[in-house]
Amino acid sequence: MHGAYGPPPSDEEAGDDTDLARRFCAGEEQALVLAYRRWSPLVHTLARRSLGDTHDAEDVTQQVFLAAWRGRTGYRPERGALAGWLVGITRHAIADAHAARARRADLANVSAAQQEEAVRHRGVDESEAAVDRVLVLQKLGCLTPVQRRLLGMAVYGDMTQVQIAERTGLPLGTVKSHIRRALHSLRRVMDARA
């Protein structure tokens, strides 16, 4: 697991947990790097075990450290260790991922019911269009929460990838990769229908 996140920091490099937490809260970027190296395997493992999917676990891991960095002023060392605070954020991110899955399943069920209704009341051409809409909605439901959010910002928010990167705090290359993969997935669904 360490290979995906870099080697764990040496004791000399990271300092003790208290010192690392202080540096993290102070906004020292190197402390973020060290905290990520030290605790991302734990966060990833918790997410993977709960979600059962490595890709979703990777997204949750990114979300946790992004949320922790943005919310670092809310961390209170007197309430517990930085690792415990990160685990708390992880639990919330995992719960959000499960809730998003449930919403996607509900959306798919509603879309399927609407499609069946359309077939009964409309002609073949309209039903094919409805099937296309259902397939796109279902494929949107298969995208990761991050991909759906970024694609929504691009399509519905009419934002450029640079604007999305600035708004989310994600690196521009990450934004481009997520949107490209999302569009590629949607294109495969539409090509299969053609």
Tens digit of pLDDT for each residue in 37-64? 999 999 999 999 999 989 999 999 999 9
State the Cα–Cα distance between residues 34 and 26, nearest whole angstrom. 14
Q: Residue 160 — left, alpha, or beta (φ > 0 → left; ψ -120 to 50 → alpha)?
A: beta
Instruction: Report all structural domains of the chain as residue ranges with CATH numbers, in order of start.
Output: 2-142 (1.10.1740.10)
Tracing tokens 């990777």 back to the chain, one arrives at: 58
At 181 the pLDDT is 84
Q: Higher confidence at residue 175 or residue 141?
A: 175
Q: Flag whether pLDDT at 145 surpasses 50.
A: yes
Q: Is the pTM of this model over 0.75?
A: no
Of 38-42, 109-113, 182-186, give the lowest mean pLDDT range: 109-113
Reference 30, options 44, 16, 9; nearest CA is 9
At 135 the pLDDT is 67
* Residue 108 Cα to chain centre, angstroms: 20
**3-state SS, one letter per residue, for the chain:** CHHHHCCCCCHHHHCCHHHHHHHHHCCCHHHHHHHHHHHHHHHHHHHHHHHCCHHHHHHHHHHHHHHHHHCHHHCCHHHCCHHHHHHHHHHHHHHHHHHHHHHHHHHHHHHHHHHHHHHHHCCHHHHHHHHHHHHHHHHHHHCCHHHHHHHHHHHCCCCCHHHHHHHHCCCHHHHHHHHHHHHHHHHHHHHHHC
At 94 the pLDDT is 92
pLDDT band at residue 163, thresholds of 50, 70 and 90? Answer: confident
State the Cα–Cα distance between residues 51 and 66, nearest whole angstrom. 19
Instruction: Quote the tokens at residue 27.
Output: 């906004």
Q: Flag whether pLDDT at 166 surpasses 60.
A: yes
- Angle (CA) 143-102-74 rounded to 5° is 80
